[in-house]
Structure 1
Amino acid sequence: MEIAENAALIVVDVQRGFEEEAYWGPRNNPSADGNIAGLIDAWQADGRPVVFVRHDSAKPDSPLRAGYRGNDFKAYVQERRGRGGGPELLVTKSVNSSFYGTPDLRAWLDAAGVRQIVVAGIQTNMCVETTARMAGNLGYEVFVPLDATYTFDLVGPWGWTLGADELARATAVSLHGGGFAKVVRSAELIAAAA
């Protein structure tokens, strides 16, 4: 695996509102936050670009709604913002894809000549997956460190329920098997970027 000097790390929706278990239900991958922090540290240490994405939910009861404390980044992310030697961008959005936010993520990446991105954050099967799929469709080389993401159990049609681990595996298979992204481990990316 080769990681470009200007490969961008996109940190999706690592917000305090996702800690409200009563709203979201059971989550998977308790080591995700440590892995996300490690990726941010590695990218900032090497002066690579980091994009922080924040979901400003339009739903009035959402823990991610603007003006509510859950909209804030988790402390370990907020502490790292502005500390790297490389370019940094804050994107706000109200949909799943980070490419439909403000400012325009694609324009920023393209202006910097970025062709390779790493997508980490929350939720694996929602905003991380949607951002990775769209990036793949736009022609970027995409890496998704599955261990630097997490999600929650989810109920679908007809009462079908999938656990968070099942959803994460389905996302990994769809992204990797479908050619949208290379699903890897965060340690592999950190080692390749060193």
Structure 2
Amino acid sequence: MKLYSKPGACSTADHIALQWTGQPFEVELLNKDTLKGPEFLKINPAGAVPALVDGDFVLLQNAAIMGYIADSFPQAGLGGDGSPRQRAEATRWLAFVNSDVHPAFSPLFAPGKFIADESQFDAIRAAAHKRLRGLFETADRQLADKPWLAGFRSFADPYFYITLRWAAGTKVDLSGLDNLAAYRARMDADAGVQAALKAEGLA
């Protein structure tokens, strides 16, 4: 199994998930040039990460890859204990990150995709900061009496952790969200997280 990742991108979440399986895997790190290079474009014509190759099977899209990792290595428990309820809860929070939190960063990373008038960029960014604050407040409430988003460590956690790193880098206001701060500290201290970050040159 081989993961294509770009350091610090959402693909780093898949890298962490693979570390959590405790099973062997490969990672190829890409940069902005190799993402659009001919070799990788054969794997993903969109030139985006993550991409996972397992034998002759190529899989794209973060949520799909997380599910595949969980099902390939069920002993890791990334999709829960095998019950429909735990799988649904883990998938619920994966969807929260993939469908709500991640896209909310787009105006911060590339405001020009939303409006051509550069004089409006600050307003676009301010709206994104407000939206993200609300989403992180939702997560903070969820973590009030739980160590992990789904109540158990799942494939939602690496993805959410990466968005917390983005929040720090884009100055999203997380003040007063003490449950998030404790969660971030737990993730920072995790051996699998540390291994993935080190391998990608992020620690």
TM-score (norm 1): 0.34
Larger proportion of strand: 1
Larger proportion of helix: 2
TM-score (norm 2): 0.33
